[in-house]
Structure 1
Amino acid sequence: MKKALWLIAGIGIGFLVAHQFNQTKSGKEFFAEFDKKAKEFSDSLVDGYREREAELRSAIADAGDKVSKIAK
């Protein structure tokens, strides 16, 4: 229980410090750059996921075609 309280206190203090830092010019620049990089990262993950999904769907379609030809 004591560890959970320390965790909650740490999160709260971290939030307050980040909020205060965001009020400064350099803080705004830092968080803008951080947001930009996080968005780029998440966009690349989504693109990779969609690309792999398309590859798998194509492979499944090819396998289905081969099974249909064999069944005839």
Structure 2
Amino acid sequence: MIVRSLVWFALGIVGGFVAAHLVNKDPRGQEVLAQLDSRIGEFTDRMSDAYHAQETRLSEIIDDAKSVASSAVEKSADAVDDAARAAEKAVSPSD
């Protein structure tokens, strides 16, 4: 069953190459293939631009999250230091 599927797959690939070769020999076919290539190029360019825009957007979000987390850690450390000082004052004998 798998061998039969692989044979049909291989025949499909070979048939596609033969058809493309025959279409490429005809000037009208060359024009159609050129238009197809142009459209594929436009599509890949748009996809690439969208990918890079999304990547930039996500990088900005991650940078903002890192900044917020860093600020929260600093404020927490300050709060712990303040609490430690207050506890130390409360425990130490009054002068």
**TM-score > 0.5, shorter chain as reference:** yes
**Which residue number corresponds to residue 26 of structure 1?**
28
Structure 1 segments unaligned to the other structure (5+ residues): none
For 1:7 and 1:68, the matched residues in 2 are separated by: 55
What is the total number of aligned residue pairs between the two structures?
A: 72
Q: Do residues 47 (structure 1) and 35 (structure 2) align?
A: no
Deviation at 1:68, TM superposition (A): 1.4
**Which residue number corresponds to residue 68 of structure 1?**
70
Runs of 4+ residues deviating >2 angstroms: none
Root-mean-square deviation (Å): 1.1
Which is higher, the Rg of structure 1 or of structure 2? 2
What's the TM-score, normalizing by structure 1? 0.90
Structure 2 segments unaligned to the other structure (5+ residues): 75-95
Q: Percent of aligned positions with the same letter in both sequences?
A: 32
Larger RCO (alpha carbons 8 Å, 6+ apart): 1
